[in-house]
């Protein structure tokens, strides 16, 4: 199948390397953070670094800790406090990943071997708890109550978002607004906190803290929307990634919500049978993808993501020109225009 | 079956009401903490207070938050900071309970309807995360980095203890030392922290902080040992509680470790078949209880608990006479001499 949306080629070109560029700009910091991550996931209980290492090594992009490093440097910070806080952000993210993957016996497992498939639910939960506690220990070592407030609040909101998502799962009546509330809480809040604490360690005025919070929050929303689009994308299949995990799990994501709202009664019956009743038959995923295409649901979901990207872009307007500012702007394009 | 150990009757009498007495001494505070707990487990996501309420209502004793309140008052504290911290301790405890109950599909469930049986693994994990984050938010509102350090460290140690316990489960070669390390980490550390922060809010010298930490830690070890004894106790069965959960789950607790160390080769083969290989047959639990009795394993485990109780008792020696001091001493007897 062909790529569904054609993009301005030069823009795509620039965005392709955006994450690498940003990572390179904070390369030295990131090396220190990676060492810190490895050192601080140590424990005299061997299963902890073993399991944590499995997921942290697989984690890959390190987008959230990079955002903390970049935000601090953009704010002119030249100390080292941001290193521990960046590691702390990654630990919180890793803990939520571990807890995300805990499934009930009746649920499907993801494509790859998740930590809980390899080590069991209990170990995944407990190592997640350990990393979460370790994140708070790192913050305590830093000593800023402001940072602790921001990240403890973000953690509570993330958990609320995840629970809210459970209550929308297998419910094809979920509204776009409910979806946005889940995304904002479960994903965007940590992006926002990761960026915001960069301004906090740099002791910048609240206008800059707010600008970075706005950037992170909206980047995070865009990121999650695109992630949800990619789950149905033919391009993903071409790249050898699994397609349709969200569909099979009855997750209510934006593409599906748009298709349901725009669909006929017969189509809604199809979505109800599959998403609500988890009664799957041969060809259902292909039919779902066909409906998404027919209603331009993937394209329009990306358009929605672009809107949040635009808010993120404008938020950085108050910062003077700086290679990191440009890289943060490119990250928006990278996020929205990822291959799908 | 008869009670296995006969106790000095008057001592038992005094200990019976020890928890009620202590609770009454901090009754006003506890009312405030209970209100705080209910208010702060609120969320716009209804499943959160619903599930959290289920476990907090069932939680019962509130021993840990009471210890924080009592410790603060024993240290002469007359403010209100200890209320939030007491609620925070209970939230951490509740979060660990929720995460404890998450089981793999193949595992047995406990007697009563646990939260995960009613609401599913995912919801239990996520609401646990929420309560854990909420605990840190309460500490942040209090603003003491010392308290944050104590409780974030305790949380990390608890998680380590739980993971360590996983690695000793179904391993009949587990040593008494390994068992003690698990108990200290998963249970006693939170008792210690709960008591210690009472001295911290009262801004007492480190000698008192250390005394309360010692009290809590050793009380916690005694508490867990007795809990593990009760799981095999005939008296428990008489009270309508399930017996043998730990046995069926292959948990390596002190009574079993003592019986294995003292047993014949044939007995060790029995423990190996049941605990390691989870190959259970009719009459196995009764046979296990018989072996425990034959080797005085329950009685001697209680003796071990008494030792930790004695350390806890001496730790309070530096405090002047006070109704709360007496109640804390009585709690030791209550803990060690509970009906079994």
State pLDDT tens for residues A14-23: 666 899 999 9
Q: What is the pLDDT of residue A203?
A: 96
Which residues in chain B are contacts of A149 at CB distance < 8 A? Answer: 137, 140
Confidence grade of residue A116 (pLDDT, cut at 50, 70, 90): confident
Please give, rounded to a whole number of angstroms, the shortest distance from the CA of B64 to a CA of chain A: 19
With both helix axes pointing from N to C terminus, report the angle between B176-183 and B254-262 in degrees, rounded to the nearest 10: 180
Compare all CA atoms of chain B with the CA of A120 and give the residue at the minimum distance. Answer: B104
State pLDDT tens for residues B60-71: 789 999 999 999
Q: Rounded to 5 degrees, what angle do the CA atoms A284, A287, A291 make? A: 135
Cβ count within 10 A of residue B24: 13
Please give, rounded to a whole number of angstroms, the shortest distance from the CA of B123 to a CA of chain A: 6
Nearest to A125 among B43, B45, B125 (CB): B125
Which residues in chain B are contacts of A137 at CB distance < 8 A? Answer: 149, 152-153, 156
Compare all CA atoms of chain A with the CA of B105 and give the residue at the minimum distance. Answer: A105
Provide long-range contacts, Cβ within 8 A and 24+ apart, for A121-124: A121/B102, A121/B103, A121/B104, A121/B121, A122/B102, A122/B103, A122/B104, A122/B166, A123/A47, A123/A51, A123/B163, A123/B166, A124/A51, A124/A98, A124/A99
Nearest to A102 among B122, B134, B164 (CB): B122
Cβ count within 10 A of residue A180: 18
Answer left, alpha or beta for residue A42, where phi above 0 means left and psi between -120 and 50 means alpha.
beta
Q: What is the pLDDT of residue B14?
A: 60
Kindly give, in sequence order, each residue whose CB lies less than 8 Å from that of residue B147, ignoring residues fewer than 6 positions away. Answer: B85, B139, B197, B200, B201
Query: How far is A104 from A315, CA to CA, in rounded Å?
Result: 41
Contact B125 A133 (CB under 8 A): no
**Is the pLDDT confidence value at A112 over 70?**
no
User: What is the overall mean pLDDT for chain A?
Assistant: 91
Compare all CA atoms of chain A with the CA of B131 and give the residue at the minimum distance. Answer: A156
Nearest to A159 among B130, B143, B145 (CB): B130
State pLDDT tens for residues B23-36: 999 999 999 999 99
**Is the pLDDT confidence value at A6 over 60?**
no
Between A80 and B10, whose confidence is greater? A80
Compare all CA atoms of chain A with the CA of B124 and give the residue at the minimum distance. Answer: A163
Contact B155 A129 (CB under 8 A): yes
| Distance set, CA B5 to CA A71, B152, B253, B337 (Å) | 65, 39, 19, 10
Contact B140 A143 (CB under 8 A): no
Cβ count within 10 A of residue B141: 15
Which residues in chain A are contacts of B143 at CB distance < 8 A? Answer: 145
Query: How far is B304 from A24, CA to CA, in rounded Å?
Result: 58
Please give, rounded to a whole number of angstroms, the shortest distance from the CA of B159 to a CA of chain A: 5
Q: What's the average model confidence in pLDDT over A237-266?
A: 90
Q: What is the pLDDT of residue B110?
A: 44
Please give, rounded to a whole number of angstroms, the shortest distance from the CA of B155 to a CA of chain A: 6
Render each residue's pLDDT in chain B as its tens digit; 340 residues: 334 444 455 555 666 689 999 999 999 999 999 999 999 999 999 999 999 988 887 657 899 999 999 999 999 999 999 999 999 999 999 999 999 888 665 444 444 567 777 788 899 999 999 999 999 999 999 999 999 999 999 999 999 999 999 999 999 999 999 999 999 999 999 999 999 999 999 999 999 999 999 999 999 999 999 999 999 987 777 666 788 999 999 999 999 999 999 999 999 999 999 999 999 999 999 999 999 999 999 999 999 999 999 999 999 999 999 999 999 999 999 999 886 5
Confidence grade of residue A110 (pLDDT, cut at 50, 70, 90): very low
Kindly give, in sequence order, each residue whose CB lies less than 8 Å from that of residue A315, ignoring residues fewer than 6 positions away. Answer: A211, A212, A214, A215, A218
Query: How far is B333 from B100, CA to CA, in rounded Å?
Result: 27
Compare all CA atoms of chain A with the CA of B186 and give the residue at the minimum distance. Answer: A126
Which residues in chain A are contacts of B162 at CB distance < 8 A? Answer: 126, 129
Contact B132 A134 (CB under 8 A): no
**Is the pLDDT confidence value at A311 over 90?**
yes
**Is the pLDDT confidence value at A340 over 70?**
no
Nearest to B121 among A45, A102, A126 (CB): A102
Contact A129 B96 (CB under 8 A): yes
Query: How far is A93 from A215, CA to CA, in rounded Å?
Result: 18
Q: What is the pLDDT of residue A56?
A: 81
**Helix (DSSP H) and strand (DSSP E) numbers for chain A:** 19, 0
Which of A37-46, A268-277, B229-238, B255-264 is predicted least confidently? B229-238
Compare all CA atoms of chain B with the CA of A157 and give the residue at the minimum distance. Answer: B130
State pLDDT tens for residues A323-339: 999 999 999 999 998 76
């Amino acid at each position: 199948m062909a790529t569904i949306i054609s993009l301005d080629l030069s823009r795509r070109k620039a965005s392709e390397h955006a994450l690498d560029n940003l990572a390179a700009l904070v390369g030295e910091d990131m090396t220190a953070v990676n060492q810190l991550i490895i050192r601080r996931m140590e424990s005299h209980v061997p299963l902890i670094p073993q399991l944590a290492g499995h997921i942290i090594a697989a984690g890959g992009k390190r987008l959230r800790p990079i955002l903390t490093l970049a935000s601090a440097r953009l704010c002119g910070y030249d100390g080292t406090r941001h290193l521990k806080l960046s590691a702390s952000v990654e630990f919180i993210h890793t803990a939520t990943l571990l807890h995300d993957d805990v499934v009930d016996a009746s649920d499907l497992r993801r494509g790859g071997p998740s930590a809980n498939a390899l080590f069991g639910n209990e170990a995944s939960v407990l190592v997640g708890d350990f990393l979460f506690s370790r994140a708070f220990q790192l913050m305590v070592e830093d000593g800023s109550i402001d940072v602790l407030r921001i990240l403890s609040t973000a953690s509570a909101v993330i958990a609320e978002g995840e629970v809210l998502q459970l209550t929308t799962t297998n419910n094809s009546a979920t509204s776009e607004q409910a979806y946005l509330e889940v995304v904002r809480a479960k994903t965007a809040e940590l992006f926002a906190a990761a960026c915001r604490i960069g301004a906090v360690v740099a002791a910048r005025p609240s206008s800059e803290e707010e600008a970075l919070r706005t950037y992170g929050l909206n980047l995070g929303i865009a990121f999650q929307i695109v992630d949800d689009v990619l789950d149905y994308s033919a391009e993903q299949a071409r790249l050898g990634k699994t397609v349709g995990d969200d569909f099979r799990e009855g997750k209510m994501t934006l593409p599906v919500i748009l298709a349901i709202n725009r669909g006929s009664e017969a189509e809604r019956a199809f979505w109800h049978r599959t998403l609500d009743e988890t009664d799957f038959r041969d060809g259902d995923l292909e039919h779902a993808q066909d409906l998404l295409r027919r209603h331009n649901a993937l394209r329009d979901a990306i358009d929605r993501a672009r809107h949040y990207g635009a808010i993120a872009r404008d938020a950085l307007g108050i910062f003077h020109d700086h290679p990191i500012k440009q890289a943060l702007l490119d990250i928006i394009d990278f996020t929205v225009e990822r291959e799908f």
